[in-house]
Amino acid sequence: MLVDAHCHLDRFPNPLQMARECESANVTTVAVTHLPSHYQLALPHVHRMERIKLGLGLHPLSVGEGKGELALFLKLLPDVDFVGEIGLDFSREGFGTKAAQVTVFETIVEALGDRKRFVSLHSRGSADQVLDVLEKYRCHDVVLHWFTGSRSALERAIELGCAFSVNSAMTSSKYGRDLISRMPRDRVMTETDAPYVQMEGRSAVPQDVKRVLAFLGSLWGIPAIEAETLVFSNFGRATGLPHP
């Protein structure tokens, strides 16, 4: 069973068609969103699909896009099992909203303490600060998506109990491969971050997690099919659900 633990289905030209392709290809896909209002719009279209797990999101680069989005997020949160994309982004693109991001992120992380969920976190340029917030609110059972922090931040995340979702962009860089090699294999999942990640001149699609599995199998010295089984097991443990 294939797993795409972080994908932006709503950013494809035809999201519903891509969702149906995930269903037919048996790719369990966490479809993250940028805003809770986007989650509301998507839910009627995918809630009956077995493989699509819609994530309630408030992306750090979207914190200023609409009044009431944080309140809506908190209102919807008790009824959702998948959260994403949330986090912090202190790159050049997000630095101007740094203070607002921290306020929103802390509010969300504190609210996550009511029960276990699958939580996909963004931490570009902000790994240490993200970990500070997780530690402050004792929220460790999360998945760090496309982690690019320092080796020391990675070690800290491992100590806190975080899991990781890795994509083809990470496997294509020396530093990304080094980080993946340091991640405990029982906490690694596959993702695409599609359609943002490019592969051979095209946007990635959820089925491209097969390429990440091939890399993981080689890294771990096991057949790709065994890597697939391990990743699916890791995903199931992260969801806390009996049948992810």
The model's confidence at residue 244, banded by pLDDT at 50, 70 and 90, is: very low
> Which of 59-68, 132-141, 147-156, 174-183 is predicted least confidently?
59-68
Check which CATH number belongs to the domain holding 162 and give it: 3.20.20.140
Backbone angles phi, psi at 231, to 5 degrees: -60, -40
* Rounded CA separation 74/107 (Å): 9
The pTM assigned to this predicted structure is 0.95
Q: Is residue 53 part of a domain?
A: yes
Task: Give 203's strand partners.
Answer: 198
- The total domain count for the chain is 1
Q: 244 lies in a domain?
A: no
Residue recorded with tokens 């083809």: 168
At residue 71, the pLDDT reads 96
Whether residue 144 contacts residue 162, with contact meaning beta carbons closer than 8 Å, is answered with yes
Domain residue limits at 122: 2-239
Q: What is the pLDDT of residue 241?
A: 63
* Per-residue pLDDT tens digits for 180-207: 999 999 999 999 999 999 988 899 999 9
Mean pLDDT across 30-52: 96
Tokens of 155: 């070690």
Tokens at residue 135, please? 């530690």
Element (H, E) at 160: helix 151-160
What the block records as the tokens of 170 is 């990470």
Q: Is residue 235 part of a domain?
A: yes
Separation of alpha carbons 20 and 22, rounded Å: 5
Q: What is the 3-state secondary structure (H, E, C) of 96-150?
A: HHHHHHHHHHHHHHHHHHHCCCEEEEECCCCHHHHHHHHHHCCCCCCEEECCCCC
Residue 219 has a pLDDT of: 97
Among 26-35, 60-69, 146-155, the range scoring the smallest mean pLDDT is 60-69
| Residue 51 pLDDT exceeds 70 | yes
Q: Does 194 fall in a domain? A: yes
